[in-house]
Amino acid sequence: MTHDHRPSRRRMGAGLMALSVLAACGEGRIPTRSPERARNRVALLLPLSGPRAPLGQQMAKTVWLVEDLSGQRGRTEVIDSGETAQTAAAATQTALAKGADVIVGPLFRDQTPSVVQAAGRVPVMTLSNDAALAKTGAWVFGVTPSQSAQAVLRYAKQSGARRVTMLETASALAPRAHAALTRGARKARVDPLPSVPANTTPEGMKQAMAAVGNGSAPDIIYVPSSGGKTLEQAIAAVQTGVTTIGSLQWAGLPPATLARLDKACFVGPDPVQFNRLSATYREQLDEEMGVIAALAVDAVAVAHQAGGTAALHQRSTLDGLLGPTRFRADRTCERALAVLRISGSQVQRVA
């Protein structure tokens, strides 16, 4: 009789239920979901307790789902990193005690230096999107503003666009997004225009874009966030006929919102691989899988593929859910994100 490796909502739910009991007792770790022993020494540090637990739990469940589907249940040790630098350092000690050769996580920037320090010579692949963390010794696997900007500029080159602007937003990532777009545009021989002011009204969007373009509209406007006001501005930009490209955050927008952005584009995951896994996740767990979960799946795959610092330095490429990905020598990540166009109720890859 063959063993049934199909994912089980009850099994994954039981793992998180057991976690919540341990977290309440202050142990901060998640038990193995089955008696099968992990064959590789990769620890995944996620916020499985605290205010942002739903985010970490979704990432954990997606990794479990992929491992169940591939017949590798229990391959990755999932450990609760909590919300603070102290809880993340404690989780690192737990990972080391379990023999981890690679630590994936934590998710948050402020936790990463303490994890790197606690890990010692064991490599840490942070899921934060702050490339500056490479200076702490971490391998930065998060989706950075630079990676999104590169996808926008790849589309600009492919479509023959010559002038690119960005909508200023209140997002903390906006300054980094602007710097990355400006720096990358010059290298790509695309003219980076001044940003469209954040206080531009939807009614004034056409005039504002003409103003930054010295009287004529830019070819592309990049919108690096997905807040309510920002989306209204983006919708107005689309209606002017200027190619409007949103950030990876748009991939998490509900279908009704995406429909309002018809003919806009956004930076996103590989649609074929992501949609296939997302459909299976929905079928098995009766809930939606976010793009952040794809980050965890890709990171764990890279960690198992590498198995240690020397292999990470070899910079082999993973064709993951978030596109082809590999580490540079400076511990930052190259990632070829897709550019997707919204067409009615469909999303199609255009770059």
**Amino acid identity, residue 112?**
T
| 184: CB partners within 8 A, 6+ apart | 146, 149, 150, 153
Condensed to tens digits (0 to 9), the pLDDT of residues 255-274 reads 899 999 999 999 999 999 99
Q: What's the confidence (pLDDT) of residue 74?
A: 84
More confident residue, 293 or 316: 293
The beta strand positions in 169-317, using DSSP E, are 191-192, 220-223, 243-246, 265-268
How far, in Å, CA of 38 to CA of 72, rounded? 8
Q: What is the pLDDT of residue 315?
A: 67
Bigger pLDDT: 205 or 308?
205
* pLDDT the model gives residue 247: 94
CA dihedral 253, 256, 258, 259 (to 10 degrees): 180
Domains of the chain from N-terminus onward: 9-140+274-335 (3.40.50.2300), 145-268 (3.40.50.2300)
| Residue in this structure with the two tokens 């469940």, named with its chain if needed | 61
Of the candidates 5, 1, 8, 3, the residue with the CA atom closest to the CA atom of residue 284: 8
- In percent, how much of the chain has pLDDT > 70? 87
**Among 52-66, 196-210, 213-227, 297-311, which is the least confidently predicted range?**
297-311
Closest CA to 42 of 147, 157, 125: 125
Over residues 7-50, the pLDDT tens digits come to 444 455 555 544 443 333 333 333 334 434 444 589 999 999 99
Whole-number Å distance between alpha carbons of 36 and 339: 40
Quote the tokens at residue 213.
């373009």
Better pLDDT: 337 or 172: 337
Q: What is the pLDDT of residues 161-198, one digit of tens each?
A: 999 999 999 888 889 999 999 999 988 899 999 999 99
Q: The whole model's pTM is what?
A: 0.87
